Amino acid sequence: MIKVISFGEALVDMLSSRVSEDQSENSDSVNERFTKFPGGAPANVAAAIGKLGGDSYFAGKVGADMFGDFLIKSLESMHVRTDYLLQTSEAKTALAFVSLDKTGERSFEFYRGPSADLLFAPHEFQPEWFDDQGIFHFCSNTLTEPGILEATQAGLEKARSAGWLVSFDMNLRNNLWPKGTDPFAPVWACVEQADLVKLSAEELAFLCRHQSETEVLKQILNAGASLVLVTNGEKPLRYFTPSHYGSIEPKNVQMVDSTAAGDAFVGGLLYRLSDLDITAASLKALGEDPEQLEDMLTFASACGAHAVTHAGAFTSLPGLEEVSAYLSG
C-alpha cells in the first residue's frame, strides 16, 4: 500500500439543524441551529481513506485556535496522519455554514479569507514527504489566491518530479474566488498536470466554454490524464481513458445530506488505487483493463452512496464493512 497526501483546506462545517428536522412548509420560519463538524473537501478525502484503512496523510494549515485543534483531533480519529498539518497564529481556521434544502442538497456560506489554510507557503512542502511512491490529491479551492496557488503548484511539481500519481478533483466553489475572477486558466493548468481528473457534469460544462464535451475530454486525455471521471448526482458515473469509456449505474438511495458524497467517492477510489500500489505509470495500464477499473469505480460509488444517507462529512464516511454490506445488499 502506498501513501496518499491530500492537500488543501481543512475547515469547520457548521451544519444546519434542518437536516434532522421536519422539512415542513413553515420550516423557513424556524430558527436554524448549527452544529460543528470537521470538513473541507481534501480533509474529507483524507478521512475517507483513513476510515477505510489506507495510509492517509493530510497536508495544510489551520489556526492555532479551538477550531484548528478540533480539526486535528477529528482527522486523527479517522486514522489520518497529521504530521504535515501545520498550525499558525497569524489567521483563524476557516468556517463554512452549510444549509440543506428539502431534498438534502446543500448551500454554502464560507468565512474563509483571510484564513489559515490560505497561508500555507511553497517552502513548507518538505522533500522527504515525497520519498518512495504515493498519490498527491488536491482541489481547486487552493487556487483562489496568488499565495496558495503558488504553494499548490510547488506541491504539484514535487509530486510529479517524484513520479507520484496526481489526482485533481475540480470541486469548483465560485464563491471562494475573488469577485470578478475567472477561475478557468488556473483550473485548466491543473487539469493538464493531473493523471486522474474528477469533474461534476456542471464543472465539465464550465470547462467546455465554446467547445463540445467530446473535444474537451479529448484535450484532457491528450494532455496526459490517464483517467477522467464525470459525476452527475444519482445519474450514471461516466469514465474516460485514452482507450476506453463507459459508465457505472449507482444504486438508488434516500439522500439525507450530499455534503461529502463526492469526497467519499474520491476517497474510496484513491484508497483502492493506493491499496494496489497504482502509480502514475500503472494508472495508464489500469485504463486498459475496464473490468478492474469498473470494479474500483463501483466500490468508490458505494462509498459515495453511503455518505449521502448520513448527515455531516466525516460522520457520513463508511468503513470497509459498511461498503461490503452495501455492495452485497
DSSP letters along 25-58, please? TTGGGSPP-EEEEEE-HHHHHHHHHHHHT--EEE
Q: What are the C-alpha distances in Å from 28 to residues 36, 89, 194?
A: 21, 38, 42
For domain 3-19+32-328, say whether CATH 3.40.50.720 is its number: no
Q: Residue 267 contacts by C-beta under 8 Å, 6 or more apart in sequence?
A: 44, 45, 46, 47, 48, 49, 51, 52, 303, 317
- Which grid coordinates belong to 75? 482527522
Q: How far apart are CA 71 and CA 145, in angstroms?
A: 23
Q: What is the pLDDT of residue 20?
A: 46
> pTM here?
0.92
Report the Cα 22 to chain-centroid distance in Å.
Answer: 30
Instruction: Please report the pLDDT score of residue 18 as a whole number.
Output: 63
Three-state DSSP class for 279?
coil
β strands within 116-208, DSSP E: 134-139, 165-169, 196-200
Q: Which residues contact 8 (CB under 8 A, 6 or more apart)?
A: 40, 41, 42, 43, 60, 117, 138, 139, 141, 142, 152
Q: Is 94:115 a contact under the CB 8 Å cutoff? A: yes
Predicted confidence at residue 101, as pLDDT, reads 66
pLDDT for res 22: 47
Q: Is 25 exposed, middle or buried (0-12, 13-18, 19+ CB in 10 A)?
A: exposed
CA distance 326 to 306: 8
Predicted pLDDT at 102: 64
pLDDT at 112: 74
% helix, strand, coil for the chain, step of 5? 45, 20, 35
Domain ranges of the chain: 3-19+32-328
Cα 323 to chain centroid, rounded: 19
CA distance 147 to 5: 20
Per-residue confidence in pLDDT tens, the chain, 329 aa: 999 999 999 999 887 776 444 444 445 546 778 888 898 999 999 999 999 999 999 999 999 999 999 999 999 999 999 999 999 999 999 998 877 666 656 667 777 778 999 999 999 999 999 999 999 999 999 999 999 999 999 999 999 999 999 999 999 988 889 899 999 999 999 999 999 999 999 999 999 998 999 999 999 999 999 999 999 988 999 999 999 999 999 878 887 777 788 999 999 999 999 999 999 999 999 988 999 999 999 999 999 988 888 877 788 899 999 999 888 87
Strands 85-88 and 56-63: parallel
Q: Is the peptide bond before 114 cis (omega within 30 degrees of 0)?
A: yes
| Span between the terminal Cα atoms of the chain, in Å | 28
